[in-house]
Structure 1
């Protein structure tokens, strides 16, 4: 059987074979147990789920083996495109049955924000590792429930922080930790784009839990933390809304926010759904600086310091992310920048504080 699999792979028959009568047999062969491969089902087959699936084609340690969706036509398309067998296809009502499916190790939850907590907890209770898109939940209380549920189930909870594995980002963080910029006292994070379709779920408070802060703004929050290497102790924030029709109550259009850190460092950040060309990090220290633009887009990332350009090969972020997450789950690898549930929870605590600061107009302390 191993010889047949190698022959089919080398002959390039995978796509053709799936349209033939023995497609189910071929799929079963492809998904045989391999303790060195993390076998993943994707939940939510929208644009980002599609991006992850396409990136996983080139993974060495992670393989797409299942889907969970409420849209039968998408399931059918993915089955044909990725050779996924019927027994690994679920909908939102019955995916708890994955507990009886040994072919699936982990589920990547890529749904609207409000569904992250309930679906992740169901996955954990089914005994499967959880990979959840960011923000991990709607607030810190929900995030804590997720962390507790995954610990109780004995499964990993990882968050889709793809930038934590990006090579140029890691090099800048390495230099900062090595003291090459001296004492880093200032960070600027600009995160935003002009959002389109006003009917999309990202502008629906019940689904998104907010607006730009619950989507693009988290990049500046998270970036400040890993670029400065500290956790903030206070935040202040201000909101600007120019289009109350598109950005309804509790759906933030633009928030500027500031964070203070134990060392005395400060971060000045912007989160917006109204301006393009905002994807920039700037880190300044007593001996040097680092700048990244674009800093969190799908790439290639561009970075330079006071010493010159930061060079590294561009690899699709989600490909690297999924391979590295496989190493975390299967090998116990410790990443340079954490991607676990506790990391996701820290960002949620800050988001809660930012929203409170917007409403009160006061500095909010973070314990």
Structure 2
């Protein structure tokens, strides 16, 4: 089977349509990810700009606003929820801790603003359902969960290859994402290790969602059941059940996926999809530049995207979202899509606790 049609112009934006205008963003939550990746992504875009910043205090918001020429208003969270400066932005990027997503999505939806929402959607499926309800009740509001791997060219080519039958019938998936969290952010009191802010775990909610959702996207298939085991024992992980997690997910079509996630291991990520005729391997994945290896019989190709790290993925994610808004299209990763992942994540912890397979 010929690979040329898939690999010609490998970085092509197959999602892009002609668009005019600019999407003005309010950045809700000024943590390091927003400051170092999200705002720079809008600065480098021709169709996005940051015009409002929102933080826990006026001082923090104003200090950061002084660093960004395009910002027109600096707000506290309460001021944002009260609808202040709504005339200065068109869409909202929500990047607060997971358990704080809901009130800001509700405020944005009530103001008729579109939302780019960091993953996972919330700290529980119940609160994620309330996000779905808020968006459904709003008038013409688009919400996209920020699955940045959906815009990675290597992942998009994987999806095309599976759809074209290049690997035959998908059979098995092996996925992993891990990192040494407390070496990266040496603070045991950080929100990712606080169940009240992060949700039911630390590794599955923050990292395991990458192989879970990227597999969904590549296979265009939903999870059907989950079986899992978790472990926590190291200092700093006393309050969470999943310093380490391993789980199997059965996806539609009887595709069996084995996945692992950990916040206390060597930094690495990969996704291997094996079919009846061939195999796709994305390694490294999720944590930096993606390297895709494609194999079938005597055919093998390896493509490396050295510039496609987290920074480029965020640039692409914002332009992807903005292009869909400007052309009046709903991106695939909508609120209902994100809710499916929330239910799968919760099933991991339920299965580990009960020692049983959980049907979704």
User: Structure 1 length normalisation: TM-score?
Assistant: 0.85
> What's 2:286 paired with?
296
CA distance in 1, matches of 2:109, 2:123: 18
CA root-mean-square deviation: 1.9
> What's 1:121 paired with?
106
> What's 2:233 paired with?
242
Q: Which one of 107, 111, 127 corresponds to residue 96 of structure 2?
A: 111
* C-alpha distance 156-127 of structure 1, shift in aligned 2 (>3 A): same
Once the two structures are superposed, the pairs formed by residues 162-311 of structure 1 within 5 Å of their partners are 162-196=148-182, 197-209=187-199, 210-243=201-234, 245-297=235-287, 299-306=288-295, 307-310=300-303
CA distance in 2, matches of 1:171, 1:109: 28
- CA drift at 1:75: 2.1
> What's 2:12 paired with?
none
Unaligned 5+ runs, structure 1: 1-33
**Secondary structure at the residue paired with 1:82?**
coil
Q: If each structure's strand is expressed as a fraction of its own residues, which one has the higher value? A: 2
Return structure 1 stretches of 4+ with deviation > 4 angstroms: none
User: Structure 2 length normalisation: TM-score?
Assistant: 0.86
Once the two structures are superposed, the pairs formed by residues 1-367 of structure 1 within 5 Å of their partners are 36-50=21-35, 51-85=37-71, 88-98=73-83, 101-154=86-139, 155-196=141-182, 197-209=187-199, 210-243=201-234, 245-297=235-287, 299-306=288-295, 307-310=300-303, 314-315=307-308, 316-333=312-329, 335=331, 338-366=332-360
Unaligned 5+ runs, structure 2: 1-18
- CA drift at 1:165: 0.6
CA distance in 2, matches of 1:263, 1:150: 31
Query: Can you list the C-alpha shifts for 1:47-85, whole angstroms capped at 9, x where unaligned?
Result: 111111112211122111110011444323322221245
**Rg (Cα) greater in structure:** 1
> What's 2:7 paired with?
none
